[in-house]
Amino acid sequence: MGGSIHLSPVSGPVEIDGGGMTIEEVVQVARRAREVTLSPSSIERIAASRAMLEKLVREERVVYGITTGFGRFSDVVISKEDAARLQKNLIASHAAAVGEPLPAEVVRGALLLRAVALAGGYSGVRPLVVEQLVALLNKGVVPLVPCQGSLGASGDLAPLAHLALVLTGQGEAFFRGRRISGAAVLAEAGMEPVTLMEKEGLALINGTQIMTSLAALAVFDAGNIVKAAQITAALTLEALMAVPDAFDPLLARVRPHRGQARTARNIVRLVEGSALIGADRRKVQDAYSLRCIPQVHGATADALDYVRGVIEVEINSVTDNPLLFVEEGRVLSGGNFHGQPVAQAMDFLAIAVAELGSIAERRVERAVNPSLSGLPPFLIHEGGLNSGFMIAQYTAASLASENKVLCHPAGVDSIPSSANQEDHVSMGATAARKARQVVENVSRILGIELLTAAQAVDFRNPQKMGRGTALAHRLLREEVPFIARDQPLYPLINRAVELVSGGRLVEAVEKEIPLEL
């Protein structure tokens, strides 16, 4: 996934001010390397928080994570002399993640969100630490962060430790196309390693920024997928000469879910002027994969609204521990690092988006099955000699089935850690990684539906298409011709998938027909 899906034109840097960050801004920084700056007011808040922390240290107050150890070692008091070594040891010991490196866009998103959280002025770090996070972003340094190892409470400890390692001149990073050591990357980028002081190591790794970066990107891409699914569905409706009654606004009036009504309106706009819709006068109603598009697609759109709200809150939240409230003069140890809100939202997103793929695969089957479509078997001339789109449907079915496994909720699982001090965890990063994969899988199913629906319409009469569907058909035919005889399908599928996942399909249609989401 990725690309420039519906991103507004970049106009100047994104300013971090401890709040107000949008999902679109996260995506612009993560994918398009938009510059980042720290606001003067955020620097003032960070400095005030640091001054409060240093006062606590001078007074030798016992405060978790500042003058004590961590987790099970929270009752071990650390001397002022050992405070810096404690933070260095914390980062080193917690950098225990495994697996393939997370994509650069996910790591960049996490760097940004970590800076946003620290800029709130509740974490007790020096302004220098946040400025160095911003510098990594603006200089194009991408810490190597393995994808596995987070329990989601206390946040994304292990992967965030790998991110923090590079700030201290350790670990590894990607820079200018190379994978090099943290020390080398800082030298090449003209940066100095940070010597972490009291609480700073903990503030860098205690939070939900890995799962939230994954989530923000997945939510953004899912918005594109919801619209793309309506376009490919409309194409199949035309190819199968569907009955239009299922999209009448009267139905949504008596079952007024917002997503259902909006989906029905979008479909009506897309097929406006079509002579194929309703052309088979013998049909009274269609199968559910056609007739229930407003209800199924609409429910996904409504779920996405909820999930987007959760993630918009999370990207602007302060999620480390303990937190320093300067105005109130209090230090509180709580659980803002717990990723349950994100975990549940990502489990919900995976389920909701998977349903778009499930119903789309059934539409693909109807299009290629002559008993259901009235079209040539597998949408090819000389069936038997040619297999046409037979195996394309297999691939769609495989992806839909894989999504069923990925939709097992991660957030209902928990496994105790840190000698049972951390006895309930969220598995939020796992939920977010799965949701991201589901979104990718559904984009591939929709690419296959785009191919099969366009092929099916060509067996009808593409001159009779509606306004919006004609735009989608034209775009595809610029990339993929009508398939008259068997040839390797994977390059054609990949081109169609890229039109979907890269946002070009939705963009081409929305130039003339804006779609509601």
What are 167-181's pLDDT values in tens digits?
999 999 999 999 999
Instruction: Determine the Cα angle at 294 with ends 289 and 300, to 5°.
Output: 95
Higher pLDDT, 267 or 425: 267
Domain limits for position 276: 217-510
Which residues are CB-contacts of 418 (< 8 A; sequence separation ≥ 6)?
71, 72
First to last CA, the chain: 20
List, for residues 105-149, the tens digit of each pLDDT value. 999 999 999 999 999 999 999 999 999 999 999 999 999 999 999
The pLDDT, as a whole number, for residue 226 is 98
Looking at the fold, whether 387 and 326 belong to one and the same domain comes out as yes
> Which tokens hold the place of 149?
């190892």
Is position 88 within any domain? yes
The pLDDT, as a whole number, for residue 154 is 83
pTM: 0.95
Q: pLDDT averaged over the chain?
A: 94
Looking at the fold, whether 87 and 186 belong to one and the same domain comes out as yes
Looking at the fold, whether 199 and 330 belong to one and the same domain comes out as no
Alpha helix (H) residue ranges in 271-292: 288-291
Is position 96 within any domain? yes
The pLDDT, as a whole number, for residue 8 is 60
Is position 32 within any domain? yes
Mean of the pLDDT values across residues 40-47? Answer: 97
The pLDDT, as a whole number, for residue 302 is 98
Q: How confident is the model at residue 74 (pLDDT cuts 50, 70, 90)?
A: low
The pLDDT, as a whole number, for residue 167 is 96
How far apart, in whole angstroms, are the C-alpha atoms of residue 69 and residue 51?
A: 21
The pLDDT, as a whole number, for residue 454 is 98
How far apart, in whole angstroms, are the C-alpha atoms of residue 396 and residue 287?
A: 19
- In one-letter notation, the amino acid at residue 114 is R
How far apart, in whole angstroms, are the C-alpha atoms of residue 227 and residue 237?
A: 15
For residue 181, what is the enclosing H or E element? strand 178-181
Q: Is 75 exposed, middle or buried (0-12, 13-18, 19+ CB in 10 A)?
A: exposed
Q: Is 43 exposed, middle or buried (0-12, 13-18, 19+ CB in 10 A)?
A: middle
Looking at the fold, whether 196 and 298 belong to one and the same domain comes out as no
The pLDDT, as a whole number, for residue 175 is 97
Confirm if 348 and 412 have CB atoms less than 8 A apart: no
The closest alpha carbon to 242, from 292, 293, 276, belongs to 276
Phi-psi region of 169 (alpha: psi -120 to 50; beta: other; left: phi over 0): left
Looking at the fold, whether 194 and 229 belong to one and the same domain comes out as no
Looking at the fold, whether 191 and 265 belong to one and the same domain comes out as no
The closest alpha carbon to 238, from 446, 388, 445, 453, belongs to 453
Q: How many CA atoms lie within 13 A of 291 on its CB side?
A: 9
> Which tokens hold the place of 50?
């640091």
Q: Range with the lowest mean pLDDT among 79-83, 167-171, 402-406, 407-411?
A: 79-83
Looking at the fold, whether 299 and 155 belong to one and the same domain comes out as no
The closest alpha carbon to 312, from 26, 115, 515, 3, belongs to 26
Looking at the fold, whether 444 and 341 belong to one and the same domain comes out as yes
Residues serving a catalytic function are 64
Would the pLDDT of 6 be above 60?
A: no
Q: How confident is the model at residue 420 (pLDDT cuts 50, 70, 90)?
A: confident
The pLDDT, as a whole number, for residue 4 is 45
How far apart, in whole angstroms, are the C-alpha atoms of residue 319 and residue 18?
A: 12
Q: How confident is the model at residue 327 (pLDDT cuts 50, 70, 90)?
A: very high
Mean of the pLDDT values across residues 285-298? Answer: 97
List, for residues 354-385, the tens digit of each pLDDT value. 999 999 999 999 999 999 999 999 999 999 99
The pLDDT, as a whole number, for residue 415 is 86
Phi and psi at residue 38, to the nearest 5°:
-100, 130
Is position 1 within any domain? no
How far apart, in whole angstroms, are the C-alpha atoms of residue 373 and residue 375?
A: 5
Mean of the pLDDT values across residues 226-234? Answer: 98
Mean of the pLDDT values across residues 279-303? Answer: 96
Would the pLDDT of 292 be above 50?
A: yes
How far apart, in whole angstroms, are the C-alpha atoms of residue 197 and residue 66?
A: 9
Looking at the fold, whether 458 and 498 belong to one and the same domain comes out as yes
Q: How confident is the model at residue 72 (pLDDT cuts 50, 70, 90)?
A: low
Q: Could you give the percent of the chain with pLDDT greater than 90?
A: 86
Looking at the fold, whether 278 and 156 belong to one and the same domain comes out as no
β pairing state of 14-16 and 36-38? parallel
Would the pLDDT of 419 be above 80?
A: no
Looking at the fold, whether 203 and 62 belong to one and the same domain comes out as yes
Looking at the fold, whether 201 and 221 belong to one and the same domain comes out as no
How many Cβ atoms from other residues are within 10 Å of residue 80's Cβ?
A: 11
The pLDDT, as a whole number, for residue 57 is 85
Number of folded domains in the chain?
Answer: 2
Q: 143: domain CATH number?
A: 1.10.275.10
Q: How confident is the model at residue 10 (pLDDT cuts 50, 70, 90)?
A: low
Would the pLDDT of 152 be above 80?
A: yes
Q: Which residue, chain included where needed, has tokens 């089957």?
A: 365
Q: Could you give the percent of the chain with pLDDT greater than 70?
A: 97
Is position 517 within any domain? no
Domain boundary among 187, 207, 227: 207
Q: How confident is the model at residue 196 (pLDDT cuts 50, 70, 90)?
A: very high
Domain boundary among 162, 182, 207: 207
Q: 440: domain CATH number?
A: 1.20.200.10
How far apart, in whole angstroms, are the C-alpha atoms of residue 218 and residue 41?
A: 31
Q: How confident is the model at residue 73 (pLDDT cuts 50, 70, 90)?
A: low
Give the C-alpha distances (Å, rounded to integers) separating 45 from 39, 119, 126. 10, 7, 10
Domain boundary among 151, 180, 207: 207
Is position 7 within any domain? no
Confirm if 159 and 147 have CB atoms less than 8 A apart: yes
Is position 6 within any domain? no
Is position 157 within any domain? yes
> Which tokens hold the place of 466?
């509606």
